[in-house]
Amino acid sequence: MESTQPTNVQRTTLLRILSLASDLGVGLPQGHGLRACYIGMRIAEQLGIGAPDQRDLIDVGLLKDAGCTSWSTQVAAFIRGDEIAARREMMFFRELGDKGEVIGWAAKFVGAGSRLPVRIGRMADFMFSGRDFMREGFQSAGEVASRVAERLGASETARIALPSLFEQWNGKGMPRGLRGEAIPVVSRIVFATSYLEAAHASRGRDEAVALARQRAGSAFDPAVADAFERVSRHNEFWEPLENGATSPFVEGQLGGTSLGIDEFAACCADFVDMKAYWLAGHSRRVADLSERDARRLRLPDAMARKVRIGGLMHDMGLVAIPSFVLNKPRSEQSASEREAVAAHGEILRHLLESFEALREVGEMASPHHQHLGSGPPTATDDAALAAGSIAAADAFDELTHDAPGAPAVDPELAVSTLRGRFGAGPIATAAAALFDEVSGGGRATQARQGWPAGLTNREVEVLRLLASGQNRKQIAGQLVVSDSTVRSHLEHIYGKVDVSTRVGAVLFAIENGLVV
């Protein structure tokens, strides 16, 4: 009997998947976001916050780190190291409003592993411009998280709260330095619960309570800290946190609303593709190409849809890999780094295996690198053909687009390079069909009648170069124009697409298929 793929899935389920992936992206144990949501809901009860605001709180809590990939490359380049470990300590185990804490963080992470002259230079850069750099990072992450929330059906209240998540009660937070009740109440709660959950998970109940007392009236809203202290006196509050039973409590508040799985998968694609400039648009292209291959193979319609979903989600495991590693040429990666990158398919499979609606997608997409030369699979023919379509599309797109240390090649050379690498059986059949599909024009795109948001041809050129990781000076050199002309183009682009940051503009380009 042909397996089916639901068009819609319970919204809570999908938000939980993205939350679990985000936990990996910020380097915290999976389930952090869900547990923080639970703490926030218990605080909200103490504060007399009603059901609608509690639903917003859950949305914000589950999506709070949905922008975590948006600034990864920049942080990795700035500190020249593992940005996941660095951001984890900065965001969850340091007090951003304490200058000494920030300097201590910089001494530990900025330029770590570099030669002494390089490290001294990095530290000097951090002391001069580190706060502005951090502010831009928080602004970018908040803007992207807000856009993801909009796409996933969150309310305007939730979307407004997300960019203010790291503001502090005393005005020493990021990115705008909001103070007190100028910060949305949902933001105040979720900010505190992020730290309280991390403290409890790493050091236990007493440390979480001590943190609430220590930061009450400074980083934390004193009413939020007080509400946490009150609920923490009851053992029944701690039991779900320590027994892994927070999910039913949270899900019971969201109701049974559903969400389109295609849009969710597209959000996941964009979320992971922002980990590195060279990945921009990769997952969407793989999805399009693998679905074309599946239909060329005459796979059942439901299976072809799963192939598309798998193509969109195939690289989700990369969220757990530091951008510092992803942006190295493979020849410069250590053996352990190459092993970590190679494991990203298994990370995806583990991420989805507990969710029935997407379990088969995870099994289909997770071995997209293992299939190269692996010989006949043991799966059914249709499932193996589907997996082969994703694997071949991924390999083809990687070869035909620039990557660190690997400039793009034309489609014909990519096809000739890949032929013979897919073993035998259904996997090889799927690859051969894809090569026939792309031969003579694998990078061709449909003609467009115009650009989104009223962008001009030159503005699209600028936006594409921005998405490729080029800075303003590099864009000016590429287009043979002045720096001020590029600045003017960027101002117009930001205004037209309604963003305030570079990464917001890049996300717009990815969403609208401008990165080809």
Cα–Cα–Cα angle for 508, 158, 71, rounded to 5 degrees: 45
Model pLDDT, residue 364: 93
Task: Give every CB contact of residue 471 below 8 A, 6+ residues apart in sequence.
Answer: none
What share of the chain in percent tops pLDDT 90? 71
pLDDT at 328 > cutoff 90: yes
Length of the chain in residues, anyone?
A: 516
Residue 131 structure tokens: 């706060």
Domains of the chain: 11-239+255-259 (1.10.3210), 261-438 (1.10.3210.10), 452-511 (1.10.10.10)
Q: Name the band, by pLDDT with cuts 50, 70 and 90, for residue 369.
A: confident
Model pLDDT, residue 448: 60
> What letter would DSSP give residue 515?
-
pLDDT tens track for 150-163: 999 999 999 999 99
Q: Name the band, by pLDDT with cuts 50, 70 and 90, for residue 404.
A: very high
* Cβ–Cβ < 8 Å for 325, 81: no
pLDDT tens track for 429-477: 888 999 999 985 544 444 466 899 999 999 999 999 999 999 999 999 9
Mean pLDDT is lowest, of 296-310, 396-410, 435-449, for: 435-449
pLDDT at 279 > cutoff 80: yes
* Cβ–Cβ < 8 Å for 307, 389: yes
pLDDT at 253 > cutoff 80: no
Model pLDDT, residue 141: 95
Distance between CA atoms of residues 388 and 302, nearest Å: 16
pLDDT at 33 > cutoff 90: yes
Model pLDDT, residue 4: 58
Model pLDDT, residue 444: 44
Model pLDDT, residue 460: 95
Model pLDDT, residue 476: 95
The per-residue b/e assignment along 146-180, b for 16 or more CB within 10 angstroms, e otherwise, is bbbbebbbbbebbbbbbbbbbbbbeebbbbbebee
pLDDT tens track for 78-110: 888 999 999 898 888 887 777 888 888 888 888
Model pLDDT, residue 165: 95
pLDDT at 506 > cutoff 50: yes
Give the predicted TM-score (pTM) of the model. 0.92
Cis peptide bond N-terminal to 117, omega within 30? no
Averaged pLDDT for residues 272-276: 96
